[in-house]
Amino acid sequence: MEPTTRPRIKICCIGSVEEAKQSIRYGASALGLVSEMSNGSSLVSEGLIAQVASMVPPGVSSFLLTSKSDTLAIVAQQRRLGVNAIQICDRLQYGTHGDLRQALPGIAIVQSISITGEESIKEALFIAPHVSALVLNSNDSSETQELGDTEQLHNWEISKRIRELVDVPVFLAGGLTPDNVADAIQTVQPFGVDVCSGVRTQGQLDESKLSQFFSQVYASADSA
């Protein structure tokens, strides 16, 4: 994929309607809505996810982050909630990305890939032809792995190589903050950047950090 000098901004881990509205006011082109995780816990209710998905304006993507690995379950989840993008956070065990695209026409099918090393490049090249976009995240090795962006950084050079080799948009995630996002953009030149903890304080969206993050992304674009 060609490099992008002014990437889209995806604000993940949206926890309320007000956080969604605030992110959109600042210029977010995508919102990440985290559903039930593999350990059974959930960041927000399905009711809230559906509410946010129904209020986003045209041009803003509502990403459902799902830990489900069965395509039938994923299709049912999308139809309940009405999001316009599905972000699969684990490997599919039953069914294929093609099955999802056939069942959900018009819905973006996005795959998360944990960047662990050279093997991540092979995984990205294998999956890319079958999805709408990739999210390149840091590997979360904790026992209570959560969906969405981790607080850890990864080797951006690997993400850059993936971006150069695949023909679909790439979102860069994993430990991004106002202090490092400009360097990340300069190195990887992704289609989009994906942030959760980097714009939060004690789990709540922090307007000061949010403003700084957007400013750094825009400044990086202006200096390119």
State how beta strands 8-11 and 30-34 pair: parallel
Q: Does pLDDT of 171 surpass 80?
A: yes
d(CA 186, CA 216): 11
pLDDT of amino acid 94 = 97
The answer to whether 46 and 65 are in contact (CB under 8 A) is no
Domain ranges for the chain, please list them. Answer: 8-223
Average pLDDT over residues 109-121: 96
> Mapping DSSP to helix (H, G, I), strand (E, B) and coil, where does residue 215 land?
helix
* Amino acid, single-letter form, for residue 138: S
| H or E segment and range at residue 164 | helix 156-165
CATH of domain 8-223: 3.20.20.70
Confidence of residue 67 (pLDDT cuts 50, 70, 90): very high
Confidence of residue 145 (pLDDT cuts 50, 70, 90): very low
| The two three-digit tokens of residue 119, written as one number | 């093997």
Q: Does pLDDT of 6 surpass 90?
A: no
pLDDT of amino acid 148 = 54
| The two three-digit tokens of residue 214, written as one number | 């957007």
Average pLDDT over residues 56-74: 97
Average pLDDT over residues 43-49: 93
The one-character DSSP state at 94 is B
Angular region, 140: left φ>0, alpha ψ -120 to 50, beta rest = beta
- Average pLDDT over the chain reads 93
Average pLDDT over residues 29-38: 92
Q: Does pLDDT of 147 surpass 80?
A: no
Confidence of residue 43 (pLDDT cuts 50, 70, 90): confident
pLDDT of amino acid 4 = 82
pLDDT tens-digit readout, 151-167: 678 999 999 999 999 99
Lowest mean pLDDT segment, chosen from 29-43, 73-87, 98-112: 29-43
pLDDT of amino acid 149 = 56
Crossing angle between the packed helical segments 46-55 and 71-81, to the nearest 10 degrees = 60
